[in-house]
Amino acid sequence: MKVPTQPELTHLQLQAMLRDHDIPESELKYLGDRVYPEDFQAHPEYHGQVMAWYLVGGEHEVPVCDIASVDRVDDDDCVPENDGWGPQS
């Protein structure tokens, strides 16, 4: 049995999450498989490899190898906007 790589495992986790939960496409959307470009310098070991890509937050196209973890966030885990970290009025 072939053990999945970390990006493959993350992709499987994200696919299960999208299948099992009602996550709006504006938050997370699978874009399909693409070649990891050689001009990306974060992971030269992936240059030329095909991997899953996702649209995160409706604006960031991200290869699965750049998604560090898949963690559940509950509503009570959110940071209030008035604590200095959120948008300033």
What are the phi and psi torsion angles at 85 (to 5°)?
A: -95, -25
**Residue 54 falls inside a structural domain:** yes
At 33-80, the pLDDT tens digits run 999 999 988 899 999 999 999 999 999 999 999 998 888 766 555 555
**Residue 29 falls inside a structural domain:** yes
Cα–Cα distances in angstroms (integers) from residue 83 to residues 68, 75, 78, 79, in the given order: 26, 16, 11, 8
**Residue 27 falls inside a structural domain:** yes
Range of the domain at 24: 6-70
**Residue 48 falls inside a structural domain:** yes
Question: What confidence category does residue 1 fall into, taking pLDDT thresholds of 50, 70 and 90?
Answer: confident
**Residue 83 falls inside a structural domain:** no
**Number of domains, the chain:** 1
**Residue 86 falls inside a structural domain:** no
**Residue 79 falls inside a structural domain:** no
Does this model's pTM top 0.75? My answer is yes
